[in-house]
Structure 1
Amino acid sequence: MKEIILFITAVLLAYGIHYYWVSLPIVTGYVAKHICSSVFIADRSEEQYREDLDGFPMKYAKFNINYTDLSVTSSIFGLAQIKAIYRNRLGATLINELTEEEIRNQKFNVEISSDINQDQIPWSMGDQIDVERFPSNINKTQLENAINDLFIEKDLVNLIRTRAIIVLYDGKLISEKYALGFSRKSKFLGWSMTKSIINTLIGILVKDKKLNIDEFAPVPEWNNPNDPRHSITIKHLLQQTSGLDFNENYLTKSDVTQMIFQTSDMAAFAASHPLKYKPGTHCYYTSGSTNILSRIIRHTVGENEYHSFPYRRLFSKLGMKSFIMEVDGSGTFVGSSYSWGTARDWARFGLLYLNNGYYNHEQILSEEWIKQSVTYVGSNQYGQYGLHMWLNTEKNNDSSTRKFPNVPVDTFYASGFNGQNVFIIPSKKLVIVRFGLTRTPNEEYGANQFLKNVISSINL
């Protein structure tokens, strides 16, 4: 019996050592990248970025911020050291596979419209809000109570840590609130809400007739007609039905964590994976599919246009002046995860979808694209899905199967890690933005009740 106990102990110890050994570079990569972005893009205070990393095991990582070369280096007990560097208009990039010199020597054409003071420009292209014209059919006190409630910590163990809320009604910004230390000037990381940005850029190229999502995806690794991946279409990638054998597990070293924290060319890494299912037959959410799409955009618009494309064709047209998308070591936008913007800019993005692709006197996306994006194609381990948009659809006319059972079925939304959301509710003329640092089980912060309370304040 003693020998058995010793053997089991040794096996568990070996497993534990292996687990943490392979996980250390993921942890230090996360810390270096996040602090680099938080400091040099979002201008976060030390208290704020330390709060971001107060969970296990990130809180054990040490880091050094170099304000001279705009970098952050992180390690744990001196092990798994990794460096992230900030480059103007390109964001923070981890040094992986390529040398720091190779990455710093990259030259990209990034044209971003000059800074304009939006304070004197009326919403939505600017930040001037007409507070005198609050909609008469909305109970202002009830709305404010709904918002304030989401800033109250009811469980001191499972904190929801709401940082920003914005409510648009019929295109007008009618309410916003920020946690202490944050403001309308604060930039927030959208995490996987960036996927919905990529969907929008694809939609622009479809409108330009430069892409057809029903055609085979133009991915160099799949060019051979005999390759079973050759049959993957752009639509399959958007629907998360590519069938690629890609593991989206953030709790240990997996395909997604290796891609995000240990790979320089994320799209090439994702595209190298074999098929697990026949394309179009199985819905499984992967960040790899989005980064492949980001590289498809790059190849479609060309090297001269790519790094300016989101700013010229989307952000500047919506008044999203704060917005920054970050690139990987190869220079491709990390479409799965990395974009920063103020809560108001994220609200502007939601407004584009509420208005069926029409914004500031221009049809930026076709109405057909909006319809496709919010059409149910399948459910996966996270919920109902359209084209890189989450849906509140139900199964078999059973409202209890909806993600938000007390919210209209036409609700759709962008969703990101730790409870980032842009909700669009067409039937109620609403766009609702929520940012926070929520690490509760399933990142639950009471969204269903909150949305219900906001809707209840409106008398249509």
Structure 2
Amino acid sequence: MYRKLRIILLVVLAIVLTFVISFCWRSFPIISGYGAKNLCSNVFIAGRSPEDVIKNELEGFPLSLGTYKVNLQDSSVTGTVFGFAKRVAIYRSGMGATLLNGVSKEDFYKEPRKTVAPYLTLADPALWPYSSKMNDSVIAGIDKKLINVALDSAFGEPGEKKNRRTRAVVVVYDGQIIAERYADGYSSRSKLIGWSMTKSITNALLGILVKDGKLDVNAPAPIAEWKNDDRKNITLKNLMQMSSGLKWEENYTKSCDATNMLYKEKDMGGFALQAPIERKPNTFFYYSSGTTNILSHIVRETIPASEYENFPYTRLFYKIGMNSAVIEPDAGGTFVGSSYSFATARDWAKFGLLYLNDGVWNGERILPEGWVKYSTTPATTHPMGMYGAQWWLNAGAPGNPAKREYPNVPADCYWADGYEGQYVWVIPSKKLVIVRLALEHGNKMNADKFLHDIVNAVQ
């Protein structure tokens, strides 16, 4: 009897040990990679201290298992977990931070990037958003008290634990900033991460290529690897509407397709496009960062190599004065269109204004005519009509406001949405663009009430 019990215990122990080793093998590189990349970006792009980033961005389990070392001499960050799963991220001026998956430091440095200088070609005396000069005039009819109620709710911290951690709010009405607030340690010059709001930037880059006549959203995706199998029927529109039918798992709490792509792969788009087809295109909605990185891969393949690295800057960011913006590449040199971009809150507001103004900036058409309407038309595959083309929508079920994401906000509201509480909301009927940037966990802000109060304040 004792021998049988011992054998059973040994078997159980072996199973548990195998599980633990497997978990560590799969998860440790994600933990160290996430920490190294996030720390590198926030130190060298946002200018924050390593201690502050580690205390806030990397405080919770399992990220707290990581150990990180910042090297100011070569602008790198090394992350490990109990000495294992070493990952290195390197910052390059004008390009942001890159996690070195599948490439050494030496080889990585052999591929320098030259950037163009930010510029604005607008005549004086231009006011924001066409310069940094603020308009001092007060728009009549604005209920400042109600605006402040909304801002107080965004920055408030109910309960003992600080979970909301709003860092910036900017409210733009009729092209003018009418309210702006920052948390201690942050200002209008602070560059803050957009996370998945980067997907909406990818939407703009694709729109520019459509305007140039280089891409057609209704045509099959121009991917050579798909031409000889069932994936050949996937269109750009299917990809943009998250309706490709590709097999994918997007779960940030474990090792899966999304986390493996972001923290283990050199070529993220190349990794994602290897996914097999699981469903018929345009029959099922599934939110996928892999899908957006496939789109980013397509952008790179469409642009001449000599123009690619400057393309987002010369054709989008600098055109609209979004001069603080940085979009970061993977180790293979392709912009991580799903997740990695930084900008100030004011510059994120400019991005929203571009869409509010139907893709036109200071008289120049940046996005093709009809692109904003296309981007904000509900995908037929989303069960609640909440997704367009790399933008989230408040359209909801027609005639049923209760089923909208924000039932007390106009149905024409749409937004870019990023991890941990990053938002650029656009409400065309109210001429509003509202930016909120945060590090939100747990007790989240009531966004419906926040937006409702601002809408009421400008009516």
Q: Where on the TM-score scale, by shorter chain, does this alignment land: which range?
A: over 0.9
Matched, 1:142 2:138: no
Aligned partner of residue 42 in structure 2, secondary structure: helix
Which AA in structure 1 matches 2:69?
N
Counterpart of 1:20 (choices 16, 24, 37) is 24
Which AA in structure 2 matches 1:70?
S
Which AA in structure 2 matches 1:79?
F
Deviates more, 1:213-222 or 1:420-429: 213-222
Q: How many residues align?
A: 454
1-side partners of 2:208 and 2:117: how far apart? Answer: 18
The Cα RMSD (Å) is 2.3
Q: Deviations over 1:16-68 (max 9, x none)?
A: 44223311110000000011111111111234312111111112211111111
Counterpart of 1:74 (choices 75, 79, 82) is 79
CA 86–119 in structure 1, closer or farther in 2 if over 3 Å, else same: farther
CA 115–136 in structure 1, closer or farther in 2 if over 3 Å, else same: closer
Which AA in structure 1 matches 2:409?
V
Matched, 1:240 2:245: no
Native 8 Å contact 1:193 1:421 kept in 2: yes
CA 428–6 in structure 1, closer or farther in 2 if over 3 Å, else same: farther
Q: Deviations over 1:413-457 (max 9, x none)?
A: 00000010000001111000000001127xx32111110111121
Q: Percent identity?
A: 45
Counterpart of 1:39 (choices 30, 43, 57) is 43
Matched, 1:61 2:66: yes
Q: Which residue number in structure 2 is paired with residue 358 of structure 1?
A: 360
Aligned partner of residue 175 in structure 1, secondary structure: strand
Q: Which residue number in structure 2 is paired with residue 181 of structure 1?
A: 185
Q: Which residue number in structure 2 is paired with residue 374 of structure 1?
A: 376
2-side partners of 1:379 and 1:219: how far apart? Answer: 23
2-side partners of 1:120 and 1:34: how far apart? Answer: 39
Q: Which residue number in structure 1 is paired with residue 308 of structure 2?
A: 306
2-side partners of 1:31 and 1:237: how far apart? Answer: 29
Q: Which residue number in structure 2 is paired with residue 449 of structure 1?
A: 449
Q: Deviations over 1:238-272 (max 9, x none)?
A: 01111111111111111111110000011110011
TM-score normalised over the length of structure 2? 0.94
Native 8 Å contact 1:248 1:285 kept in 2: yes
Q: How does 1:273-284 map to 2 (within 5 A)?
A: 273-284=275-286
2-side partners of 1:416 and 1:367: how far apart? Answer: 26
2-side partners of 1:395 and 1:251: how far apart? Answer: 30
TM-score normalised over the length of structure 1? 0.94
Counterpart of 1:100 (choices 92, 102, 105) is 105
Aligned partner of residue 458 in structure 2, secondary structure: coil
Q: How does 1:312-351 map to 2 (within 5 A)?
A: 312-351=314-353
Deviation at 1:5, TM superposition (A): 7.7
Q: How does 1:203-218 map to 2 (within 5 A)?
A: 203-218=207-222
Gaps of 5+ in 2: none
Counterpart of 2:174 (choices 167, 170, 175) is 170
Q: Which residue number in structure 2 is paired with residue 402 of structure 1?
A: 404
1-side partners of 2:276 and 2:100: how far apart? Answer: 26
CA 390–292 in structure 1, closer or farther in 2 if over 3 Å, else same: same
Aligned partner of residue 455 in structure 2, secondary structure: helix
Q: Which residue number in structure 1 is paired with residue 439 of structure 2?
A: 437
2-side partners of 1:81 and 1:118: how far apart? Answer: 51
Aligned partner of residue 23 in structure 2, secondary structure: helix
Aligned partner of residue 75 in structure 1, secondary structure: strand
Deviation at 1:335, TM superposition (A): 0.3
CA 104–384 in structure 1, closer or farther in 2 if over 3 Å, else same: same
Q: Which residue number in structure 2 is paired with residue 90 of structure 1?
A: 95
1-side partners of 2:122 and 2:215: how far apart? Answer: 35
Deviation at 1:9, TM superposition (A): 6.5
Which AA in structure 2 matches 1:81?
K
Counterpart of 1:193 (choices 176, 183, 197) is 197
CA 381–87 in structure 1, closer or farther in 2 if over 3 Å, else same: farther
CA 178–283 in structure 1, closer or farther in 2 if over 3 Å, else same: same
Q: Which residue number in structure 2 is paired with residue 391 of structure 1?
A: 393
Counterpart of 2:298 (choices 279, 296, 299) is 296
1-side partners of 2:51 and 2:456: how far apart? Answer: 36
Deviation at 1:6, TM superposition (A): 7.5
Q: Which residue number in structure 2 is paired with residue 427 of structure 1?
A: 429
Gaps of 5+ in 1: none
Aligned partner of residue 449 in structure 1, secondary structure: helix
Which AA in structure 2 matches 1:78?
G
